[in-house]
Amino acid sequence: MFALPKLPYADDALAPVISAHTIEFHYGKHHAAYVKNLNALLAEQGAAPASLEAVIENAKASAQAKVFNNAAQCWNHSFFWLSMSPTASSASEGLSKAITAAYGDHAGLKAAFVAEGVAHFGSGWVWLAADRHGALKILSTHDAETPLSHVGLTPLLVCDLWEHAYYLDHQNDRKGFLEAWFDRLANWTFASEQFAAATSGAAGWRHPAAT
Ligand code: MN3
């Protein structure tokens, strides 16, 4: 059974960008439902896998859409909570250099990240990722799709573009949400750890295993 990982901060720590009310629904209902649905689907199959990454990979390879959607949404949401921090942080020297090389400066990165998120049609995710050479890439994925399926790309940060992520606090203002998220919540300590993993050939963050 996979468990719903504990949030690394209090429910109201991300307010006002993300209120405790949004956390109550987004974490307490949406994310919790993906975990519950995934465990039910795996139990139906008589499967007891340990690694969520393996579940995602197998479901993708065998076109099991329901398992893939619930498993990938579990992974993406757990990664999303870690992509935020109520404490201000800054990028490591290595990540800062990569940002300068790809986007000129932090403002250039923000503009590109927000533009990708605003232009994404429908539900999904906007990611900052790095390849093994430290080249940065901004991409968006639809629905439950995750860059875990993109060989050679390590995600550094993600922001949720589903309306349930921002509607209670920002209504239809996805751009305003993304700008405030980038300025006030993005966890550069976590992004820097992921960048170090990407460029050293390590696996990066892995979802807590099933018990
Ligand atoms: Mn969500």
Phi–psi pair at 144, nearest 5 degrees: -100, 0
Q: Per residue in 29-50, pLDDT tens? A: 999 999 999 999 999 999 888 8
Q: Per residue in 106-155, pLDDT tens? A: 999 999 999 999 999 999 999 999 999 999 999 999 999 998 877 789 99
Alpha helices in the chain (DSSP H): 20-25, 32-45, 52-61, 65-82, 93-103, 106-119, 167-170, 174-184, 188-200
Among candidates 119, 125, 150, 155, which has minimal Cα distance to 140? 125
Q: Per residue in 52-66, pLDDT tens? A: 999 999 999 999 999
The Å distance, Cα 52 to ligand 1 centre, comes to 18
What is the structure's pLDDT at 95?
98
- Which token pair is 202? 């390590």
The Å distance, Cα 167 to ligand 1 centre, comes to 11
The Å distance, Cα 78 to ligand 1 centre, comes to 10
Mean predicted confidence (pLDDT) in 151-176: 95
**DSSP β-bridge partners for residue 128:** 138, 157
The Å distance, Cα 202 to ligand 1 centre, comes to 27
Cis ω before 16 (30° cut-off from 0): yes
Among 19-23, 149-153, 162-166, where is mean pLDDT lowest? Answer: 149-153
Size of the chain, expressed as the number of residues it contains: 211
The Å distance, Cα 160 to ligand 1 centre, comes to 6
**Listing from the earlier edge strand, what are the strands of the sheet with 136-142?**
136-142, 124-131, 153-160
- Which token pair is 35? 């975990």
DSSP code string of 32-83: HHHHHHHHHHHHHHT---S-HHHHHHHHHHTT-HHHHHHHHHHHHHHHHHHT
Mean predicted confidence (pLDDT) in 68-73: 98
What is the structure's pLDDT at 47?
84
Q: Per residue in 85-101, pLDDT tens? A: 999 999 999 999 999 99
Positive/negative CA dihedral, 11, 15, 18, 24: positive
The Å distance, Cα 187 to ligand 1 centre, comes to 18
How far, CA to CA in Å, does 57 sit from each of 40, 68, 196?
18, 8, 24
Q: Rounded to whole angstroms, how far apart are CA atoms 4 and 129?
A: 24
What is the structure's pLDDT at 132?
94
What is the structure's pLDDT at 129?
97
What is the structure's pLDDT at 51?
95
Percentage with pLDDT > 90 across the chain = 93
What is the structure's pLDDT at 175?
98
The Å distance, Cα 25 to ligand 1 centre, comes to 10
The Å distance, Cα 101 to ligand 1 centre, comes to 31
